[in-house]
Structure 1
Amino acid sequence: MRSIHVVAHPEATHHVEKVVGGWHDSQLTPAGRAAAVRIARTLRDQIPAGADVELFSSDLLRTSQTADEVAREFGIEPILDPRLREKSYGQAEGRPQQWLDERFIPAPADGDRMGHYEGIPGSETRGECAKRVCAAMEEILARDCEYQIIVTHGFAATFVLTTWIKMPYEALGSVGFLTPSGSITTLREDDFYHNRRIVSLGDLRHLNPQAALAAGGAP
């Protein structure tokens, strides 16, 4: 049985400052750091003691800080990979969100959504982001390890998941998985049928244990 836990980093300074993230190297806020600790402890509870575990992370500060908390819990070193970064927004990064909104050209409902230029100099297309994230994910999946943890970003996480379920590149133009900041998504493949499942998507119960208890779930 292979299990993969995909973590979308928790609250970072660009969230509260209302500036564009992307490759802007924001760091976790105090609330984000506390959430990273909860994420690490939750993963420690979910993964058996003594299991073989690998940890991969985007190299941006907000993800590497999250990965550091997980690494401390498991006593392992994170492998930083810039291909797991969020989509680049070029000249918009670090600027007010309104600056981006005023210049952003949304992709058409049909046509070449993967190669669409959004109007921001230096920014990646959806396809460019997808190709690098998928390439990183293919290398991760080629490794022989029972438990793997991947710390990435909300937009990039979609391509981690599409690689997992072997969705072809041509189908990625309109797909999007909801993985909120601080969430954990659990992926699992069984050894008999080799079915790849998304066991839970964008789970936030570890950040709101009282809500989880009220819903009848584990904190």
Structure 2
Amino acid sequence: MSERIYVVTHPEATHHVDGLVGGWYDSALTPRGVIHARAIAARLRELIPTGSVPVLYTSDLARATETARPLSDVFDVEPVLLPDLREKSYGVAGGRPQAWLDTYFVPPPPAGERLDHDEGIEGAETKLEWVSRVYRAMDRITSDSEEHRIVVTHGGSLSWVVAAWQRLPISACAHVAYRAAPGSITVLEQDDVFHNRTLRTLGDLGHIL
């Protein structure tokens, strides 16, 4: 039997519609986001074989735990809260208008030091700090022997969940990125013959379109 991780990016949250910086700002799901969270749970019930009980991991931010709630109900499991699955911390920019961050943010250079680059925002994580803690979360998640796991996280942190699963060195994350919209499902798989770790599906939205 192959081993699978179903990575869920939380659906629409209040900071999306209000034009605010997310990060560690603890926004909640919108009513539309709640509907999409239920649709995600229904789709994963279809994807995960009947009789299999997945382990459910989630970021501890409200928009992620609210996404995990219908999954917990459908599979009758309690979520494991992992703060290391949070989105990047944007320091003092969290919860401020996105235009504020756009004004003061210093983008990383195309070459040279990118992981430890100072983005000019007080209290913000560097990319290295962000990636390292998501990798730490994935070490925790993959330390068991479960065949099916669900991981509820954020759009930015999804990149490092995927990179960690594929065992890319952290240094590769200076340039690598995977894009997935809010409310998406990404499927990671390790086959039981070659033990290759595959990105089977990236950012599927078929359940909410």
TM-score by length of 2: 0.98
**Could you tell me which residue of structure 2 aligns to residue 214 of structure 1?**
none
What does residue range 151-190 of structure 1 map to in structure 2 within 5 Å?
A: 151-190=152-191
Secondary structure in 1 matching 2:156: helix
| Offset from partner CA, 1:56-99 (integer Å, 9 cap, x none) | 00000000000011111101000001000000000000000001
| Offset from partner CA, 1:133-160 (integer Å, 9 cap, x none) | 0011011111110100000000001000
What does residue range 1-219 of structure 1 map to in structure 2 within 5 Å?
A: 1-208=2-209
- What amino acid is aligned across from residue 70 of structure 2 in structure 1? E
Structure 1 residue 193 displacement after superposition: 0.5
- What amino acid is aligned across from residue 109 of structure 1 in structure 2? P
Structure 2 unpaired stretches of 5+: none
Partners of 1:52 and 1:146 within 8 A in 2: no
Partners of 1:52 and 1:145 within 8 A in 2: no
- What amino acid is aligned across from residue 4 of structure 2 in structure 1? S
Find the aligned partners of 1:81 and 1:98 in 2 and give their Cα distance.
30
Percent of residue pairs identical? 48
Find the aligned partners of 2:118 and 2:65 in 1 and give their Cα distance.
29
Structure 1 residue 52 displacement after superposition: 3.2
Find the aligned partners of 1:20 and 1:120 in 2 and give their Cα distance.
12
Equivalent residues, number: 208
| Offset from partner CA, 1:174-200 (integer Å, 9 cap, x none) | 111011100000011111110111110
Q: CA RMSD in A?
A: 0.6
TM-score by length of 1: 0.94
Find the aligned partners of 1:187 and 1:56 in 2 and give their Cα distance.
15
Partners of 2:53 and 2:75 within 8 A in 1: no
Partners of 1:104 and 1:120 within 8 A in 2: yes
Structure 1 unpaired stretches of 5+: 209-219
Structure 1 residue 32 displacement after superposition: 0.2
Find the aligned partners of 2:170 and 2:147 in 1 and give their Cα distance.
26
Find the aligned partners of 2:177 and 2:191 in 1 and give their Cα distance.
25
Find the aligned partners of 2:206 and 2:50 in 1 and give their Cα distance.
22
Find the aligned partners of 1:83 and 1:171 in 2 and give their Cα distance.
20
Find the aligned partners of 1:111 and 1:69 in 2 and give their Cα distance.
44
Structure 1 moving runs of 4+ over 4 Å: none
- What amino acid is aligned across from residue 45 of structure 2 in structure 1? R
